[in-house]
């Protein structure tokens, strides 16, 4: 699961470095061997030539007679031994040592990385050709993908049953194949995947065309021959259906749905917020303020918090400069060796499990572990005015390529099993989310119901109440971590619980409107 966080990818670079060295040494050894063999052969050839010019006189020379025998005995043994030396055994042993002792990605990782790329492509509406050129939103970050690279992405999508992306990437593989001087992939293979993914999406006629093209290239391709018959049969069936439905022409003009940014629970609004295309409504923005906060605390009087309102009802706050670079360094250093793939709670069974909708690595840090961790907890108390008595440990999170956390609530809903029950501290009343890195592109925290996106800035923190004073969950706090498009995203969470807040945030019996609670 190395693809889930950027820190693991850095280890992969080390692995690759050692492998490059190993293979370079192997090449050198093989080259030395070949050079030596060439020298032997040159000597043999020279003597052969001389002997052939006049065999009798050559052999009548006792020195020549002797060296011929010697060449075929002592010398030849060396040649044979040289041919027989196995450089690959050592090299293979080295490689398997690296695989066992260094971080090495699995096929599952490759699949995960491919899925992550598809997620980025969808969320940020990246077109396939630009991506293949190594561009993200017009910025060129990396080398181009070859036809074979595109083919592999298509193949991964195909194996996941994702025919939409199979088509996109096989088309790109085909386009690149035509432009590439040396072929990196087989054109028949591209056509076969392309035809089938197009068939799976319902375009049988095009699938048949492509299969015919494939058969022009490889007339004996047995699967293509089979598919051709199959597609032809399907088309005949479809014709009958069309005849049956003749006159029923309303069904032909089905309007294609445009993006729907009105549904706060829909994917369109979420993704538009991630792209920065939707911003906090102007009437809300007009009321937002920035202020200094010192909560009657003498220390804070000297250095009050700089608080910015990002949204009202639900209230979302940004605290500036609340975590120092030193603290961030400590937190990253302590968390890194403990990183595990982040889990989510199954709302039916209460069990913790990994899920595609939350991809990151995380670890928990206790206040006792380092002064900096305790300092941060103390600061959260000052920032929020809430007691840290029942707060959870600091959760540290790193998101890698395409790492994300789809829309969710931080609090446990009424119908959920087990959530926080065993803690005996009540529900998660509030969240403080520290940004411990800037993110090059993507990675916003978005609140679809508030139509608000918070962009990571190293050292700042977001703060909001998840619960109404009545203890009911505030539906409007539903939020998500958008996929990271470029860079690495580090955050840490402090989740504050209900118990011990009775005097700091008294609960009320007044209930909020039902449509706002969850």
Ligand X SMILES: O=C(O)CCC(=O)C(=O)O
Residue the block writes with tokens 């003749």: 246
Residue 493, contacted partner among Fe ion, ligand X, none, CB below 5-8 A by kind: ligand X
Of the ranges 72-80, 164-172, 382-390, 402-410, which one interacts with Fe ion (CB under 5 A)? 402-410
Query: In the structure encoding, which two tokens stand for residue 304, read together?
Result: 């009050």
The sheet that has 358-359: what strands, in order across it?
358-359, 404-408, 479-481, 445-447, 452-454
Among 445, 460, 492, 501, binds ligand X (CB under 6 A): 445
| Opening angle at CA 457, ends 454 and 462, nearest 5 | 50
Give the residue with the Cβ less far from ligand X, 172 or 327.
327
Residue 494, contacted partner among Fe ion, ligand X, none, CB below 5-8 A by kind: none
CA separation for the pair 106, 109 (Å, rounded):
5
Minimal distance, residue 484 CB to ligand X, in Å: 9
- Consecutive H or E run containing 306: strand 305-311
Give the residue with the Cβ less far from Fe ion, 207 or 480.
480
Minimal distance, residue 405 CB to Fe ion, in Å: 6
CA separation for the pair 8, 339 (Å, rounded):
10
Residue 474, contacted partner among ligand X, Fe ion, none, CB below 5-8 A by kind: none
Give the residue with the Cβ less far from ligand X, 430 or 491.
491
Of the ranges 36-44, 108-116, 408-416, 465-473, which one interacts with Fe ion (CB under 5 A)? 408-416
Give the residue with the Cβ less far from Fe ion, 172 or 410.
410
Among 427, 488, 493, 517, binds ligand X (CB under 6 A): 493
Residue the block writes with tokens 């002797």: 66
Centre a 10 Å sphere on the Cβ of residue 330 and count the other Cβ atoms it contains. 19
Residue 445, contacted partner among ligand X, Fe ion, none, CB below 5-8 A by kind: ligand X
Minimal distance, residue 434 CB to ligand X, in Å: 10
Secondary structure (DSSP) of 273-297: HHTT-S---HHHHTT--EEEE-TT-
Of 81, 88, 97, nearest to 30 by C-alpha is 88
CB neighbour list of residue 417: distance below 8 Å, 6 or more residues apart: 347, 348, 349, 350
Minimal distance, residue 376 CB to ligand X, in Å: 16
Give the residue with the Cβ less far from ligand X, 128 or 398.
398
CA separation for the pair 64, 51 (Å, rounded):
9
Of 406, 371, 376, 405, nearest to 388 by C-alpha is 376
What sign for the dihedral angle of Cα 266, 272, 273, 279? negative
Minimal distance, residue 477 CB to Fe ion, in Å: 9
Minimal distance, residue 450 CB to Fe ion, in Å: 14
Give the residue with the Cβ less far from Fe ion, 168 or 433.
433
Among 228, 491, 492, 494, binds ligand X (CB under 6 A): 491
CA separation for the pair 470, 178 (Å, rounded):
65
Query: In the structure encoding, which two tokens stand for residue 342, read together?
Result: 């982040």
Per-residue contact track with Fe ion, 354 to 393, x per CB under 5 A? ----------------------------------------
Chain residues 393-432 in contact with ligand X, contact rule CB under 6 A: 397, 405, 410
φ, ψ of residue 230 to 5 degrees: the values are -60, -45
Minimal distance, residue 192 CB to ligand X, in Å: 41
Minimal distance, residue 184 CB to ligand X, in Å: 38
Residue 136, contacted partner among ligand X, Fe ion, none, CB below 5-8 A by kind: none
Of 478, 152, 139, 452, nearest to 311 by C-alpha is 452
**# residues near ligand X by CB under 6 A:** 9
CA separation for the pair 334, 432 (Å, rounded):
20
Residue 433, contacted partner among ligand X, Fe ion, none, CB below 5-8 A by kind: ligand X
Give the residue with the Cβ less far from ligand X, 197 or 384.
384
Minimal distance, residue 479 CB to ligand X, in Å: 6
Among 327, 381, 410, 498, binds Fe ion (CB under 5 A): 410
Give the residue with the Cβ less far from ligand X, 210 or 462.
462
Residue 121, contacted partner among ligand X, Fe ion, none, CB below 5-8 A by kind: none
CB neighbour list of residue 220: distance below 8 Å, 6 or more residues apart: none
Among 394, 412, 433, 461, binds ligand X (CB under 6 A): 433
For 358-420, where are the alpha helices, taking DSSP H only?
A: 371-384
Of 225, 228, 157, nearest to 193 by C-alpha is 157
- The b-or-e profile of 333-360 (16+ CB within 10 A means b, else e) is ebbbeebeebeebeeeeeeeeeeeebbb
Nearest residue (beta carbon) to Fe ion: 410
Task: Judge contact between 488 and 337, C-beta under 8 A.
Answer: no
Residue 323, contacted partner among Fe ion, ligand X, none, CB below 5-8 A by kind: none
Minimal distance, residue 243 CB to Fe ion, in Å: 54
Give the residue with the Cβ less far from ligand X, 195 or 373.
373
Chain residues 468-487 in contact with ligand X, contact rule CB under 6 A: 479, 481
Number of residues written out for the chain: 518
**# residues near Fe ion by CB under 5 A:** 1
Minimal distance, residue 118 CB to ligand X, in Å: 21
User: Site residues (CB under 5 A) for Fe ion?
Assistant: 410
User: Site residues (CB under 6 A) for ligand X?
Assistant: 397, 405, 410, 433, 445, 479, 481, 491, 493
């Amino acid at each position: 699961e190395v693809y889930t966080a950027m820190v693991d990818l850095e280890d992969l670079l080390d692995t690759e470095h050692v492998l490059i060295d190993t293979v370079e040494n192997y090449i050198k050894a093989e080259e030395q061997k070949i050079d030596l063999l060439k020298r032997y052969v040159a000597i043999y050839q020279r003597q052969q030539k001389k002997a052939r010019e006049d065999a009798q006189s050559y052999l009548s020379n006792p020195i020549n007679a002797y060296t011929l025998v010697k060449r075929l005995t002592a010398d030849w043994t060396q040649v044979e031994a040289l041919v027989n030396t196995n450089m690959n055994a050592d090299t293979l042993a080295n490689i398997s040592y690296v695989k066992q002792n260094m971080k090495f990605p699995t096929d599952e990782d490759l699949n995960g990385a491919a899925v992550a790329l598809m997620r980025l492509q969808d969320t940020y509406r990246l077109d396939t050709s630009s991506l293949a050129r190594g561009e993200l939103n017009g910025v060129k970050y990396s080398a181009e993908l070859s036809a074979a690279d595109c083919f592999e992405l298509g193949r991964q999508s195909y194996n996941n049953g994702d025919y939409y992306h199979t088509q996109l990437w096989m088309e790109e593989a085909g386009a690149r194949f035509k432009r590439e001087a040396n072929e990196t992939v087989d054109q028949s293979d591209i056509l076969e995947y392309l035809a089938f993914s197009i068939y799976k999406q319902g375009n049988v006629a095009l699938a048949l065309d492509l299969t015919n093209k494939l058969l022009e290239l490889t007339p004996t391709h047995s699967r293509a021959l089979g598919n051709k018959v199959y597609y032809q049969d399907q088309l005949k069936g479809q014709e009958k259906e069309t005849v049956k439905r003749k006159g029923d022409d309303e069904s032909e003009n089905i309007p294609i749905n445009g993006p729907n940014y009105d549904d706060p629970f829909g994917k369109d609004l979420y993704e538009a917020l991630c792209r920065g295309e939707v911003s906090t409504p102007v009437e809300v923005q007009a009321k937002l303020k920035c202020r200094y906060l010192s909560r009657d605390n003498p220390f804070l009087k000297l250095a009050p918090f700089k608080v910015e309102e990002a949204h009202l009802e639900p209230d979302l706050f940004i605290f500036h400069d609340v975590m120092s670079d030193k603290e961030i360094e400590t937190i990253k250093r302590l968390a890194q060796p403990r990183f595990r793939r982040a889990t989510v709670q199954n709302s039916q069974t209460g069990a913790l499990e990994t899920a595609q909708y939350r991809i990151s690595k995380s670890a928990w840090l206790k206040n006792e572990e380092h002064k900096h961790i305790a300092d941060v907890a103390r600061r959260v108390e000052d920032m929020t005015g809430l007691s840290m008595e029942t707060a959870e440990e600091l959760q540290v999170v790193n998101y890698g390529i395409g790492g994300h956390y789809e829309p969710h609530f931080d609090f446990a809903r009424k119908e959920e099993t087990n959530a926080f029950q065993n803690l005996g501290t009540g529900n998660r009343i509030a969240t403080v989310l520290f940004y411990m890195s800037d993110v090059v592109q993507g990675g916003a925290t978005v609140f679809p119901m508030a139509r608000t996106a918070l962009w990571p800035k190293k050292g700042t923190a977001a703060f909001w109440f998840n619960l109404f004073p009545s203890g009911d969950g505030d539906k409007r706090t539903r939020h998500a971590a958008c996929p990271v498009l470029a860079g690495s995203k580090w955050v840490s969470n402090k989740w504050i619980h209900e118990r011990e807040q009775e005097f700091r945030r008294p609960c009320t019996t007044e209930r909020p409107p039902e449509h706002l609670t969850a």
